[in-house]
Structure 1
């Protein structure tokens, strides 16, 4: 079965239901499943007329929108390969991806992203642009170009041939790795379909569910769990403004009123901070009916109709999960990688442990290797890295298990726990090992800390760079930098009081601004690029180790 087969299965049952909702001029415009199917067929016909055939690559360089989904399914209908590119990628990464995959056609959203392409297009095989912007993009004359809407109206064929099979590559996703140039993980239709079906058995979605798309579709977590899974279920996905601007999340939540929300830990950490900063919270929680009232207030913050949230991409502090659960909102934490399509394990509504990544999916074998690394085998594990046989071979054990690079354990009840990245272990000059991620997860749960990176490899102690949550400091009347330093060090000492002595942070540096994706300090899913950060701040870090 291919991905389009899965999405449009039982079409007659859901054809009049709303599939996608796109924000336009402040209002949502809906697309039914029947319209989605027809638009996909027409777009596939258009690509076919442009010469796209099975095995060809087509790039999508756009923020989340309904056209993204239509183009993706149409490409796959032809047996061609979708190559998503993160809209926040720097030009050097965009050029590398387009050159590596050989895409001749790209779907882009607007002028901003076209400018990136325009700076790097020389020498690339790219010759055709399909754009989604309402107005014509400036500078397109040098290439063949079409507007997305015109392109779908132009063709009316209703039965394009599917030229490939479930074992064919459906997508090449270039990992937003924390080091070096991105590698292309080649995922087949079978890889993704098997993952969607297993996700559905673990966390069922329903036809009356609504999802607000916040995470980038160019990331496999949003694409598999936030797009294919809900479309397979007959649910409706809302594309608002928050995928382009995270500041719009509260507004989009009110408009879309999702029943299910996929996010990364920072989204739930920020919500937690806002709730704690509200003085009414600390008054209401002591009232006789305070728990029920707070439950309504918290759910209203997520739109008012929310029934569950799913968190992935990094570890969620268990205290935050327990906090929301106490007031009636379950956040199900999961774990996965691009190379595994992506979900490996997740908590369930009827079986979850705070601080864990849940139970492995029922069609995967997950083990802990002798050195503590999590290894996995099953139908959702990638074929390999595109054009990189050496890297592919190195990524698997002799028994065919994929080496995740993450360290973890499986408890007596079968729940998977992540302790950190194998390559990120800090070895102190005392010989002690430190997992920085465990400390960072604990620190990031503080309402006073936006981001933290723990350093100290080869040194006698661990130190940290801290991006503070300045709004919270101001709320406490702290504006002067020295006072902020003292308050945050006190907070860190409190948080790490029960950690082993060698894991307690002895010195910190308060940063003037947070780490940003645009400065290549974070991946598009907000993971720290440690080498970039440590190189950029090497003098600041060195200062913390001078007597």
Structure 2
């Protein structure tokens, strides 16, 4: 059994009492570890007064902010169950998920509340504002009275506020349900991933033992807290190590993000490939792909000076204090990864999924093998469902302390992914090398069957297309037995370039380096960037 994440939090609170723990970059909230603990217990007083008990569900629906993080810890520390709902979901989806989860309380951004119909969520005892914890709606007079007397009740119980000695969180509930994380807003077949305290604790312990954090380190939280990647690695893990988290309420434009890096100077940046690839295509590749630079790049002495200069500029872009650049969600393009490795930038690619809270594989950048996404983490097992896991692609299956209990009130979906002996079918395809490094080939549901039964992995073709001139992103589809690439080009940089002619050159260049059964028949340009999920993955199902 792992060390409880609430034990780590309790130690951080007592060790770094007067140090800052959380701030809102675009707001006024700034909490120390002391005031953080004070607010946790203040919320407990209200929960107690309205009858929120162990195992009761409390739904959170808001963009990233200190009050979201505070609400999560307050619910977890009183042994309730957090229900995380993405703020991007439509009102009808929020209604449905609140009802499906059987939540007693909803803490929501006021702007989102304005779009909701409380009568569509009849089981809720109250709806509270995420902005200031004011009461937005309640049918129960006792709840309104409890809210009115909240401050007085807290002062009566803790007349001098919370002291270090008062901070004592439960730690004997590792197997209990802590979180229901809804991975999509579908109303027909909701999949609420059931995450236990042990799932989160095992992830937290691994991170603290592997990704070294120093008290006072700073971090920008921009990945959605309603997703496990952001929740675990941009909140729970850093505050368990004494860090100061700065929350961005929504995914910002590049200038806002760059200013945040300059102000916060984060020790770590967690991101998806799309963000890094955009930075390189805008700021790095135009310089190093010039003919003279290509020659100098490989010239002894001068080449090293150029690479060091690029590394320093990239470090400055991230605030100048970066020790870890961790990429997740998909593989990096080969071109970008080759450049990061050439300039000796401290990057690595990890792999995980919500159902593993979220980490599956990782390896420190000093040991990381190019093209992989690390090796299986502690307290977990991995196997490839194929006759030859080193050469033959098969489904990635995992087992261990990170794996969820199942999908809430959805035994059919649970049975489809969890075997009787506890192995989780990830739906991803890959191989492993002799050192245990995992190489992902794609999603099983995205795999295309070639003309003679060959397996075609569109992600591998997209990687090659995305490295071509003027390509921002792409999707490879099969139409009438042929492969077609949809491409969103860099219209801003194109100028007078004949994009159709250039894409035809790109198509021919790709076809020269891929097998015959992977030949791209045509490239079609799209006018707008592809629609993304909150994790910045392309919504492939929208494109045919």
**What range is the shorter-chain TM-score in?**
0.7 to 0.9
Whole-angstrom CA distance in 1 between matches of 2:6 and 2:65: 18
SS in 1 for 2:512: coil
SS in 1 for 2:173: coil
Whole-angstrom CA distance in 2 between matches of 1:378 and 1:89: 31
Q: Which residue does the alignment assign to 2:540?
A: 530
Whole-angstrom CA distance in 1 between matches of 2:334 and 2:503: 21
- Structure 2 residue 418 is matched with structure 1 residue 396: yes
- Structure 2 residue 315 is matched with structure 1 residue 305: no
Q: Which residue does the alignment assign to 1:34?
A: 34
Alpha-carbon distance, 1:530 to partner: 2.7
1:433 to 1:451, Cα distance in 2 relative to 1, 3 A = same
Alpha-carbon distance, 1:512 to partner: 1.1
Q: Which residue does the alignment assign to 1:537?
A: none
1:150 to 1:2, Cα distance in 2 relative to 1, 3 A = farther
Q: Which residue does the alignment assign to 1:213?
A: 221
Instruction: Report if the CA contact (8 A) 1:447-1:472 is conserved.
Output: no
Equivalences for residues 234-245 of structure 1 within 5 A: 234-243=242-251
Instruction: Report if the CA contact (8 A) 1:3-1:73 is conserved.
Output: no
Q: Which residue does the alignment assign to 1:538?
A: none
Alpha-carbon distance, 1:153 to partner: 8.9
Picking from 337, 343, 359, the partner of 1:321 is: 337
1:250 to 1:49, Cα distance in 2 relative to 1, 3 A = same
Instruction: Report if the CA contact (8 A) 1:462-1:502 is conserved.
Output: no
Whole-angstrom CA distance in 1 between matches of 2:484 and 2:289: 34
Equivalences for residues 159-308 of structure 1 within 5 A: 162=170, 165-176=173-184, 181-243=189-251, 248-276=256-284, 279=287, 286=296, 289-308=305-324
SS in 2 for 1:531: helix
> CA deviation digits over 1:106-138, x for unaligned, max 9?
112231x123323x752442342221347989x
Alpha-carbon distance, 1:71 to partner: 0.3
Whole-angstrom CA distance in 1 between matches of 2:217 and 2:169: 32
1:354 to 1:496, Cα distance in 2 relative to 1, 3 A = farther
Whole-angstrom CA distance in 2 between matches of 1:153 and 1:246: 45
Whole-angstrom CA distance in 1 between matches of 2:241 and 2:465: 38
Q: Which residue does the alignment assign to 1:422?
A: 444
Q: Which residue does the alignment assign to 1:115?
A: 114
- Structure 2 residue 368 is matched with structure 1 residue 356: no
SS in 2 for 1:254: helix
Alpha-carbon distance, 1:281 to partner: 8.9
Normalised by the length of structure 2, the TM-score is 0.86
1:315 to 1:91, Cα distance in 2 relative to 1, 3 A = farther
Whole-angstrom CA distance in 2 between matches of 1:266 and 1:99: 35
Whole-angstrom CA distance in 1 between matches of 2:410 and 2:170: 27
Which shifted more, 274-283 or 8-17? 274-283
Instruction: Report if the CA contact (8 A) 1:344-1:361 is conserved.
Output: yes
Q: Which residue does the alignment assign to 1:6?
A: 8
Q: What is the RMSD computed on CA atoms of the aligned residues?
A: 3.1
SS in 1 for 2:513: coil
Where in structure 1 are there 5+ consecutive unaligned residues?
517-521, 535-547
1:173 to 1:346, Cα distance in 2 relative to 1, 3 A = same
1:432 to 1:461, Cα distance in 2 relative to 1, 3 A = farther
Alpha-carbon distance, 1:303 to partner: 1.7
Instruction: Report if the CA contact (8 A) 1:203-1:349 is conserved.
Output: no
Which shifted more, 336-345 or 365-374? 365-374
Instruction: Report if the CA contact (8 A) 2:357-2:404 is conserved.
Output: yes
Alpha-carbon distance, 1:203 to partner: 2.0
- Structure 2 residue 500 is matched with structure 1 residue 485: yes
Which shifted more, 329-338 or 249-258? 249-258
Q: Which residue does the alignment assign to 1:514?
A: 529
Alpha-carbon distance, 1:390 to partner: 2.2
Where in structure 2 are there 5+ consecutive unaligned residues?
297-301, 388-393
Q: Which residue does the alignment assign to 2:299?
A: none
1:150 to 1:452, Cα distance in 2 relative to 1, 3 A = farther
Q: Which residue does the alignment assign to 1:409?
A: 431
SS in 2 for 1:117: coil
Which shifted more, 302-311 or 285-294? 285-294
Alpha-carbon distance, 1:165 to partner: 1.2
Whole-angstrom CA distance in 2 between matches of 1:471 and 1:297: 23
- Structure 2 residue 129 is matched with structure 1 residue 131: yes
Whole-angstrom CA distance in 1 between matches of 2:180 and 2:122: 18
SS in 2 for 1:502: helix
SS in 1 for 2:124: coil
> CA deviation digits over 1:164-221, x for unaligned, max 9?
7111100000123899744011010011101111122232222242111111110101
